[in-house]
Structure 1
Amino acid sequence: MSQNFRLPEILEIARSEGKVTVDGLAERFGVTVQTIRRDLTELAEAGRLERVHGGAVLPSGVSNIGYEDRRGLNEAAKAAMARACARQIPESASVFLNIGTSTEAVARALLHHRNLLVITNNMNVANILVANRDCEIIVAGGALRRSDGGLVGALTIRAIEQFKFDFAVIGCSALDVDGDLLDFDIQEVGVSQTIIRQARKTFLVSDASKFQRSAPARIASLSEVDSFFTDRPLPGDLSQRCADWGTAVEICGEGAP
C-alpha cells in the first residue's frame, strides 16, 4: 500500500483507538517499522498526530495527553534544552521547578550543581533531585494530582508566595503564534502565574511540538519570560517579537543553527 493510502488510514485508526503503535502499523500494512516511523513523522510535522514512545496519539485541544506518553515525546530535544537551561543556572542559586516532563529533564541536568535550593510543586522533580546531596529541596504543598505528581491549588499558591527565588524554570502545554503560554488545568495556571511573579528571572523550557497544540487557559506571554529554550526556530514573526520584548531564545539540539 502506498503512503497516500496509508496516511488517511493511520489517522482513522488513531481516531478510533486513541493511539497507534509502530509495530502494530508495520504488521497491519506489511511494511518496515522504518517506513511507519517516516509516516508518523510526516503526520506529526503536519500537526495531525503527536509522536509518543513507540507510536503516536491524536493532538489534544481541551485535554492533555497522558503523562507517561508525554514523557516519551521528544526526549532527546528535552535533554538538550535541559542542559542548555542548566548552564544558565549558577551554583549557590535558588530555583523553582514546576510541573512537567521538560522541568523533570532540567532537574536531571542539575544533579551535579552544588549548593542549590530547589523549590518545586512536582513530586517527580523532588525524587530526581534526592540524588544530589548538595541540593536542599522544598516541596510546595497542595492537592496532589495523581496523574503526574503535581501539587496544585490555593495551598500551593500560598506556599510559593513565601519565597522570592533567583530562577523559575517552567513548562507549558501549548504556545500560540502570539507568544502566549497555554495550559489545560486552570489550577495549574494560577500556580504558574504565581511562580512567575515570585521569580527574579523566568526560564521557559518547551519543545517546538507545543506550537502544534492548543490549550484553553492562558498562563502568560513570552514577554514575561527572560529566556526561552526550545529545539526549533520559532514560527512567523515570533523571533522578532521576542527580540523586541527582550526575551532571549536559545535553539538547542538538532534544530540549533
Structure 2
Amino acid sequence: MLAVTRRNAIKAQLLERKSVTISDLSHHLHVTKETIRRDLRLMEEQGDLIRTHGGAYILDGVQNDIDISIRQVIKAEEKNAIAEKCLRHIQSGDSIFLDMSTTCWFLARQLINHNLTVLTTSLQIATILSSSPNIRLIMIGGVFSPNSMSFQGENTCKTLRNYYVDKAFISCRSLSMENGITDISEDVAAIHHLITQRSNYTYLILDSSKVGPTSFAFTCDIAAIDAVICDQPLPEFWQDYLKKQDIMVF
C-alpha cells in the first residue's frame, strides 16, 4: 500500500471514529507499528490530527466521542490534579457516585484505602475499586459501551433511580453560559442529569479546555450543580457568574 493511500485510510478512520490506536491501525493496514507512528507524526505536522501516547485523535464536531484508551492519556496531569482536589471533598463513610469519565478514573485510583460506598457506571473504575476491602461497590449495569468501557441506556437510569448519594462527581464535554452543561451523547447526558437529582451535592469536574464550547446533548442547567472543580483558576467573569448562582469554585 502506498504511503499516501495508507494516510488517507487513517484519515477516514479518524473522521469516522474520532480517535485511533496504533495497534488497531497496524493490524487493520497490515504494517508495522513504527510505520504507523511515522504516519501519525507526519500527519500531526500537517495539522490532520493530535498525537498522544498509543494513538491519535481529532477534535471535530459536537458529538466527538474519543476512545477511552486515548482519553486516559490526554491531559493526564490536569486530570490527576483535579482528582487530588476532589479527594479533599470526600470524607470517610461517604456514599459517592463516580461517572465514566477518565477524570473519575484518576480519582478512583486514589480511593482504594478509603471507607466509602461507591456507585459507578464505569467498568474500569469498578475494576480498580473491586480489590479494596474498605469500599462497598455498587456497579450500575445496562447496555455496555466499548468506547467508554461503561454502561448506559434506559436500564442504567432505571437502576440508578433506586439510589441516593451524598456526593456525585461528574464530568462533561462542555460548559457554556448560554447552553449549560452538554455532553457527547443523550445516554451520557441522561445519566448525569439524573444523578444531579439523586445526590445531596454535585461536583462538576473538568479541565479548563471544556469551558466555553457546546456539545451535542444537553445535560442540565448550570444551576443544577453545587460546585465546579477545575485544573486551573477559571476566568474572573466565570467565577463571578458561578458565584451569583451560589456555585462554589475550587
Give TM class, smaller chain.
Answer: 0.7 to 0.9
Matched, 1:219 2:219: yes
- The alignment partner of 1:240 has SS state of helix
Q: 1:179 to 1:201 in 2, by over 3 A?
A: farther
Distance 1:65 1:223 in 2: 28
1:163 maps to: 163
Q: Which amino acid aligns with 1:134?
A: N
Unaligned runs of 5+ in 1: 1-11, 30-35, 251-257
Q: Does structure 2 conserve the Cα–Cα contact (< 8 Å) formed by 1:98 and 1:170?
A: yes
Matched, 1:101 2:93: no
Q: Does structure 1 conserve the Cα–Cα contact (< 8 Å) formed by 2:40 and 2:56?
A: no
Q: Which amino acid aligns with 2:91?
A: P
Q: 1:55 to 1:121 in 2, by over 3 A?
A: closer
Q: Does structure 2 conserve the Cα–Cα contact (< 8 Å) formed by 1:60 and 1:213?
A: no
Q: Does structure 2 conserve the Cα–Cα contact (< 8 Å) formed by 1:177 and 1:211?
A: no
Distance 2:51 2:209 in 1: 9
Distance 1:233 1:171 in 2: 17
Q: 1:240 to 1:50 in 2, by over 3 A?
A: farther
Q: Which moved more, 1:74-83 or 1:171-180?
A: 171-180
Q: Which amino acid aligns with 2:100?
A: I
Distance 2:41 2:118 in 1: 47
Q: Which amino acid aligns with 2:196?
A: I
1:234 maps to: 234
Q: Map 1:1-257 to 2 at 5 A.
A: 18=14, 24=38, 52-53=52-53, 57-61=57-61, 62-114=63-115, 116-178=116-178, 180-211=180-211, 214-235=214-235, 237-250=237-250
Q: 1:91 to 1:65 in 2, by over 3 A?
A: same
Q: 1:26 to 1:122 in 2, by over 3 A?
A: closer
Cα displacement (A) at 1:78: 0.7
1:255 maps to: none
1:6 maps to: none
Q: Which moved more, 1:172-181 or 1:222-231?
A: 172-181
Identity fraction in percent: 24
CA RMSD after TM alignment: 3.0
CA deviations 1:49-96 (Å, max 9, x no partner) are 656336753213223122211111110111111111011010101011
Q: 1:51 to 1:207 in 2, by over 3 A?
A: farther
TM-score where L is the length of structure 1 = 0.76
Cα displacement (A) at 1:179: 6.8
Unaligned runs of 5+ in 2: 1-7, 23-36
- The alignment partner of 2:103 has SS state of helix
- The alignment partner of 1:109 has SS state of coil
Q: 1:26 to 1:16 in 2, by over 3 A?
A: closer
1:4 maps to: none
Q: Which moved more, 1:210-219 or 1:123-132?
A: 210-219
